[in-house]
Structure 1
């Protein structure tokens, strides 16, 4: 009973029967809140008809969107689309536009853009579409031009633009826009590819350059590649930027290493020059000491001791400098000569000391013969002044009078006065004091008349000498106190290292000796000597260890000399001068590392090393000259290569081989290397410039071919054949396109080829359709002739005499032969079954050519015809127009045909011919 009561007294809009619920919807008022809620509930009913009826009563799109948030039925979607497009209801446009922001349904937006009742609504919906296929569909199919154009503007990909240009046939503006943007996109892609290729070329060149050794134009080449890289407008990839930074870092390291090496060489040269200047001053000091000794009036034991002490000091300094830098040959000869002079003076003084007793005995005994014999044994140098003892001996032997003076002695005194004045101007106190003392002694021996002219000058120079002595004493006094205090402090200082203590001690001793006898005091001298002795005692163990180290360094230097002598005595004919230079430089470094050595053997081993270095440098120069000769031959070969008859690319490859051989040779002499390299590089640059020019010409021709091919494609794409005779135009275009080959590799060329092949296939298909249509149309012109043959066939089959049908004018040779065959067939008719079989075969062949379906019974015949066509295509090229012509000739030649047979076959034949006669769509 509950079900009955529910049906009798329940609400009709909740009835079980969908038809009752649909009827109840008509009575609901959407303006009443309760009825509106019922309608919204019925909008989600299980029955589609109820949902559709309920939605028809709801016209507020906002309510529909709220319902759609809970359930999405096809009816709700369709009704919402109808409301938003303006097909249903009268919702204002502004309200509908505002509701678009609340929708997130690309399919609904596409339908609104396609079916909206207002252009602004369509454009607003289109603006919310992001799917490119949907945009392409809108650009091709939308009925409003502004919407089509707006959709076309938002297609950006190459595939989308290609599809848009192919499908947008109804709007030329969209087609042109798509083609223009596609061409620009391809041009941009081509330029981007060219930029990428250029970056790769620069990167490869930079990476290869980074692997090369330094050469005179290394930095310039690096800066050129850097400018080329920075000139490119596009941004490199992260990988390219990483490769560029690594290659640049390696190039800068090569340049920095070379600059550091060059700076080190300059520093070494400066140190060598400084050492050479100091050695020059040292040799001059030794020569001045000998010259000063010669200018004296007499030589004493103090003079000899001072000369030998000065010689030892300067020899030690010479040895220290020689350990650092080898002296020049001329300076070494001067140094050897002055040492020999010192040694000659020392030996003469030793002989004099050995004969002193004999000389004194001869003087006491007044034995002149004995004195002369002893003097011959002493062999005193004639350019040296005698000692006081020798002077007494010579005076006794020559018996000269003290008051006697000769004019040459006065002249010599005048020369010595001029020399004394120069020494005073130079501040050479010791030499000036010795010379002044000699002049005083000789001045007293001069005659009175000669002394009067010389005496003022001698007094004036004596006053200057006294002033210089006072000044030296004034300066030297505080200096001696300072040196004495310094050496005492040094002796008490226990924090210094032994090497630093020895260096400071030697410097203080040198400064003390440089003061000479100026402001000399016994107490200060004793203090200084005592402090120096304490330092000597303290440095005893260190000096012993230093002597052992010097002995070890001496052995290492001798071993190094032996190795270098073995290398110089047995040189490799193909030795690389750069390797020999490295050996020379490393040997110099090792020589400096094995320092110091014992002083008494330093000069000998230093001279030995100097001779070896000279021989090694001679070997380096010899190999460098051989390399220079080989590089001159390469320069001449490069010059001849410029006039070679081969292509620029071949000459460039040959030039690269020459460059590889250049790098393998090594370096020529320094000045000649740069000159040869500049000439060789200039010749190679000319060869590479010719290759680049040829590449530019080839690229320009390629661009011209691309532009011409693009113009040809556009022209043939716009061209539509009207007759089959237009095939000549297509063949000419194909020949013209072949003349542009080969096109440069790239995406643009590939795209052009694909588009060109598609256009050619389409035009050939059109020409084929045109030829078939023209052939079918020509057959229509032959229908009167066929009708006359059919009438003649009917009369002949009825028993009348066979008639001969007259040919129509304008028949080609095949048709004329078929016409004559038809006339002959009536005179000797074939059986009706055979004629029906021939005509059926022609009908099936025509259906196969037209692409029409055939009856099930004709399937074996169709397969047989296909097999025959396949076999025939292997022997000759088949043409559909030719096949159609042969079929029509066969239809005309087959007979006699009964009217019943023709009426049965004519319909299908006409249908197939009509299908073939249709003109292709443009």
Structure 2
């Protein structure tokens, strides 16, 4: 039984006082103590006992040690399993080395169990930081009871599908987690889109770099190059090598051309007088005439540049080499060729491969005559750059050629679907690509098929263009009809003005599609528009007045905020009212209707300039308020480890009253500060909660122990049928209850309730014991009466001389068949009476003694009957009233100073004496008096006591 295990080795109060209680008990094995379990788990040589001890161990620090790398594998496995079980159950505190447990836990399922089921949020947080499975992290982010743990789990999730699951699962239960998940999804989408945006930006920057220097706007293009460099630096690391090579090439090309331009400018400025003198000398004239008639002078005949050679002969870098003071004959041709090379190099249109090659051949032929002149070096530099540009152009042309088939198929699909808006620019692009391929020196046979297919597609394109022109005219016709219908239509002017504007926008939209304008339709539409506009003029004038009123209202708002800024004392300002006024001003500004564009822009500059000044003060106060909040957070965090818990709680409450927001920041920042402050306060209050939990656990343990005692008492009272065992159990339960309530710390309601239950249990045990004792005593009395009746029957037969009517052997058998009496003394006394009665049947002397005893027992029996009547409280015959009074007085004197529980023990003793008295003459009246007294005595005093005690 439970009380035997708890009280083993201890003596009950009855044993201490010397009372002899024979309580049966069965030996039970004592539960091992925590110290014994620790010793066995750490040092036992039997693996089975060691593992069994680990399975019962509850000390987290010992389990962490056993789960270390130095332990055997089976011990480490058992310790980690037991550690997981303990961590998933409520416990008072974690050991100092609790973080080491994560080093022993390697399986993802075990970490997931810790993250889901650990009682302490710190353990769940540490497990979350070690988990890599996105699904497990998603479950923690949705279901964990701690907001900080949900945030930590979400921060470790990068999978898009899992983040979408968190967004669906968390809903509005945790807006902070929900917003972070949405933000991470947005970043993932941006990262996925980033390569395409980078390629698009690379193409734009490279295209702009290619246009640098094409139009000869050198200073403007040089400034633009700096801007392009800054833009390129932001995406250079993400650009593909092909784009980097292209941009670097175009940049170097422009810088080289720009340097050549600066050099040419400085050279032309220095040598302009020398060139003028050379043109006026006879030798120069004769040289020019010779050049004009020499066959070499017509080398450029048929070239696109030949018609302008006479105009460009003196352009470009004119550096005539000298022999003394005379120019070298024929140098003007090289100068002219250098100028042509420069124009081709800086031209925006693609280079003609054949034209450039002829120019280079002519120039290099001239260079061979004057290899060491500055003009030769200049031409050679331009020639190299032209060749580089030709190579780049050819590479681009080859790339266009590789893409031509796919783009041509795309054009055919657009024409087949009738998508002119997509087909027209694609056709123009393919035509330009063919021209680029043709002039870049690529074999014409490679593009012959493409040219043929493009020519076959041109009629279909023209057909679509004609349909567009026809469709545009039809649309314009409809617009004219709608505009003319508005002239006399009776509708509100506001609606009329809106429709007028819509029809005008539709007309402009048709113009933007590229459909040619029909002048007659335009004049018709314009005339109708003028007439509709005349009808709308009053409404437009009213709107102009409204815009003027709106302007005045905006100016008033500007004046109000400027007046406030001029008069406010920032040291004593009410920040909440100021912030509310700022919001109301913004709302009032937004509620004002439209204003004329030019005036509105000026007023908006004025308004937002004042708002920026106000916002600077609000930002400063916002920053000061947040610094103050951070200081409060730091002060509360310092109180977490404060030794005096009551003082720490009092200071925390005082700091909570100091927390206030004057100018709120972003909701995210305010939430983060409040969460940090609230978490620090919760940590302080959690210490008190932990103490209360320990007290509650102790009270629960005490209540459970008392409940078990009451339950055991109730069960014993309901089931026990043995009087002696019931009395022994009752004494032991009283002892256990006394020991359990010596240091009771239960709250008053729980303590009162459990004491009421125990009192009820104790009363039930007492009632059951009394019932069993009464039943046992009545049974014994009945057995005693049966034996006494048998004795009296034998005695009466002997007294009457009827011994022959009785068989001794039968009488002895009848005596043996009667139940055995529990009290040995009474049993022996009755057995002696029985033997005397039997002896009287067989022996005359014994019969004589029996007669003398019967004569002497007659008055004793009468006295016993009178005493029984007194004890039972029944009436006595009137003639015996005086005798009864004398007996009562005598009994009263005997009982003075005694506090018996009534007449019950004395009455039972009288009954026993009656049955043990022996033979007496038969008296029917006396027998009736005895039976009446006996019945009354047992009915009045049902609870009896065992005389053998």
TM-score after normalising by structure 1: 0.32
